[in-house]
Amino acid sequence: MRDVSGDQEAVGLDTDRAVRWVAGPGAHEILHPQIVLGFHSLCLVKPVDDDDWYMGSLYDDGSIDCWAAYGDLYEALRGL
């Protein structure tokens, strides 16, 4: 994970947090994370009911707004 992303401080984060997929202005969907990977102010989320990985912003309160989706983890890590 750290080698592919280029972020040597990447960490696994607690999944007990609010995560939203922001599809557009005023449109969002709640995601239930199975895995959350933190990369400073960005993160990758793997939901329990979806094979895609979502990239988003990690806020100070621990919540996440996702705004990009990737078909696999490698692609998502390269997208960072």
How high is the pLDDT of residue 78?
A: 86
Identify residue 35 by its one-letter amino acid code.
Answer: I
Buried b (16+ CB within 10 A) or exposed e, 22-41: beeeeeeeebebeebbbbee
Structural domain spans, the chain: 2-79
Q: What is the pLDDT of residues 19-35, one digit of tens each?
A: 999 977 778 899 999 99
How high is the pLDDT of residue 53?
A: 97
Whole-number average pLDDT of the chain: 89
**Contact by Cβ (8 Å): 21, 52:** no
How high is the pLDDT of residue 67?
A: 95
In the predicted structure, residue 5 carries a pLDDT above the cut 70: no
Q: What is the pLDDT of residues 31-70, one digit of tens each?
A: 999 999 998 889 999 999 999 999 999 999 999 999 999 9
Q: 67: which 2 tokens?
A: 């705004």
